[in-house]
Amino acid sequence: MFLVSIVVEGGVVAYQQPYAAANGRWQIKKNNNYYYYPVIYVDPSGHGHFRTIQAAIDSVPQYNKNWICIHVRAGTYREQVKIPREKPYIYLRGQAQRRTNVIWDGHDSIEAATFSCDADNTFVKSITFINSYNFPPEHNRNPRRVAVAAMLSGDKMAFYRCGFKGWQDTLWDVHGRHYFKKCSINGAVDFIFGNGQSIYEGCSISVDRGGEEGMIGYITAQGRQEGGESSGFVFKKCHVHGSGKAYLGRPWRDYARVIFYRTYMEDNVVPQGWTSYATSSGLNKLTFVEHGCSGPGSNKSMRVKWLAKLGGRELRYLTSLSYIDNDGWLLKLPPSKILA
């Protein structure tokens, strides 16, 4: 068995073999075999390899081909974090969604995100990313602005038990194949937007309008530009709730595609469900679908007339993991309960 360990010397990651017990390690068991991966510990109190998450990411070798775990101990990290394209195979692992928080207040640009990732093959678990410029909105006097919590443009990215909190444009699901499992996403205006090819499964979608009385928000703004593109947002067995009324979505681009599948909707979903500025001919290009949903907000009797329907075969494909994973990349993630 090939054993790997990691040491950090002057801020640079170096590999050692065989494994030395004094160094960081991450042990997993798969198919009755044990595997060891390097671990970099981040601890704001100074009891790890680094005090900041970004310093740990910077230490990872470029064009790495093996999983490296960056273990982020519980705490509040007031920093802007970016994983560049040349640093794939990073497993960013917090101690708990509610106890491991990354906070920044970048605003007025959708590229000023608290967390951004351009790298392929990234796995993030048990961390919450917050853009504090307008969050929490109930106690925030800043003008309402674009303020992104996460910008995700890599391919083969997975998030498990993570949080994304903001008010406008919280989660920029830019492009690439993405899987979100048991995550919490907060916002009010277009707070899940972009052109990703993504499944959100078992996620909490919370509309938080703050003190904006009478405001109607928008959960999604999907950006599919051409009919042949494979992108789209699929919300599978999620829970839509919150303190404010909201549309399920509006199109960001002409061929926007959003599916709510077997999702529980509270009564904060407006009866129309969806809205668009498109003309009647443009409405035929949109694919906004609700299937098998429940809850007081799922009543479709007053939904827009242009709500789409999909054939059974297409619906099964788009709501299955095959939609985002036809080559088995999810099975190659570090073992966790993400597929349980």
Q: Which of 118, 155, 169, 208 is catalytic?
A: 169
- Written as one letter, the residue type at 219 is I
Instruction: Give the DSSP letter string of 198-258.
Output: EEEES-EEEE--TT-TT-EEEEEEE---STT---EEEEES-EEEESSEEEEE--SSTT-EE
Let me know if 120 is a catalytic residue. no
Q: Which of 118, 155, 190, 208 is catalytic?
A: 190
CB atoms within 10 A of CB 328: 8
- Alpha-carbon distances, residue 106 vs 146, 150, 240 (angstroms): 9, 11, 27
Buried b (16+ CB within 10 A) or exposed e, 109-129: ebebbbbbbbbbbbbbbbbbb
Do strands 100-104 and 12-16 pair parallel, antiparallel, or not at all (unpaired)? unpaired
**84 is written with which tokens?**
């560049």
Find out whether 244 and 168 touch, Cβ atoms under 8 Å. Answer: no
**266 is written with which tokens?**
């509270």
Look at phi and psi of residue 57 and say left if phi exceeds 0, alpha if psi is from -120 to 50, else beta: alpha
Find out whether 251 and 216 touch, Cβ atoms under 8 Å. Answer: no
Residues serving a catalytic function are 169, 190
